[in-house]
Amino acid sequence: MEHFIDVAPGVRLWAEERGAAGAPPLLLIMGAQASGTGWPEELVDALAVHHRVIRYDHRDTGRSTWAFDERPYPVTALADDAIAVLDGLGVARAHVVGLSLGGMLAQLLIADHPGRLLSATLMGTCALSTTPYTRPDGTPGELPGIAPEVLEMWSRPVEDRGAEAELERRVEHWRVLAGGLLPFDAEYFRALERRIIAHTGHYRAGTAHGRADDSGMLRTAALAATDVPVLVTSAPAEPVFPPPHARHLAQAVRGARVVEIPGMGHALPREVHGPLAAAILAHTAGRRS
């Protein structure tokens, strides 16, 4: 079932529900510049066996309002949008699953709206905390940065060279984000992006989230004191926030536990759908009301 939800003056978001209406709600929060249809159908279906799964398009993605140039907003507004989506669908409390920027937005929800969350799963993200990272041997450590090949691709200007060229740019982006431990299925990601472009109605690449003000996002004290049950996925091939970031999240977020998804990078290929769904469902089990 599809919806359009007014979340702010002049801002309307597309959302979709899947699964039994009476099942415990689970909100999927995508990463920067990513449509909600970036969540693979197979993964959504697996989660919908036990949940009322809600996915939505951020502002300036998919079928939601594209108006950053006329009405700029900070990144924190995207977390407010997530709460507005729940409000618009009459959901008092939900499990949340956030990927990349979505994982940061989920942390803002943990800190600022803990009463609205049944649990949270954080994927491919970093801690919104000044808590120092401690290596497994107990010594202080530094967190690794983004892989050079990712930075190089992100540094390239995105030019309109037509629909097929944009499609191939996106596939190459997924190749770099996948991390290289699993075989890369270009046709799978090409089909995914074709669905996203068809859903959006155009192939224009968004840039709003990269230009939005990202200040005021640290939540060190609130994350260290939370009672929200938190699962952190560790991806061994992760090129954006390599595995020490998952361990750091578990150190920064009270009670968080870590589960490794074999072969996973910063993408969601077929091979990770089963293990990822199993990890999320095991985390939400017993917390479904």
* Segments making up each domain of the chain, as ranges: 2-145+208-284
Alpha-helix residue ranges (DSSP H) falling in the chain: 41-48, 76-88, 101-112, 148-155, 163-178, 186-200, 208-211, 220-225, 244-252, 270-284
Give the list of residues 6+ apart from residue 111 with CB closer than 8 angstroms, or none. 128, 219, 222, 223, 226
- 285 CB neighbour count, 10 Å cutoff: 11
Res 158: pLDDT: 85
CA dist 140 and 136 (Å) reads 9
Give the three-state DSSP class for 159. Answer: coil
Res 289: pLDDT: 52
Determine the straight-line distance between the first and last CA of the chain, rounded to whole angstroms. 22
CATH code reported for the domain at 2-145+208-284: 3.40.50.1820
pTM value is 0.96
Res 287: pLDDT: 66
Tens-binned pLDDT, residue by residue, of the chain (289 aa): 999 999 999 999 999 999 999 999 999 999 999 999 999 999 999 999 999 999 999 999 999 999 999 999 999 999 999 999 999 999 999 999 999 999 999 999 999 999 999 999 999 999 999 999 999 999 999 999 999 999 999 999 888 899 999 999 999 999 999 999 999 999 999 999 999 999 999 999 999 999 999 999 999 999 999 999 999 999 999 999 999 999 999 999 999 999 999 999 999 999 999 999 999 999 999 765 5
The 8-class DSSP code of residue 38 comes to G
Listed residue (17, 55, 80) closest to 217, CA to CA: 80
Q: Which two tokens stand for residue 30?
A: 């995508």
Res 123: pLDDT: 98
The residue behind tokens 């999240």 is 249
CA dist 264 and 72 (Å) reads 34
CA distances from 62 to 30, 35, 205, 246, 251 (A): 12, 5, 10, 29, 35
Res 182: pLDDT: 98
- The C-alpha R_g of the chain, in whole angstroms, comes to 18
CA dist 181 and 13 (Å) reads 35
Res 166: pLDDT: 96
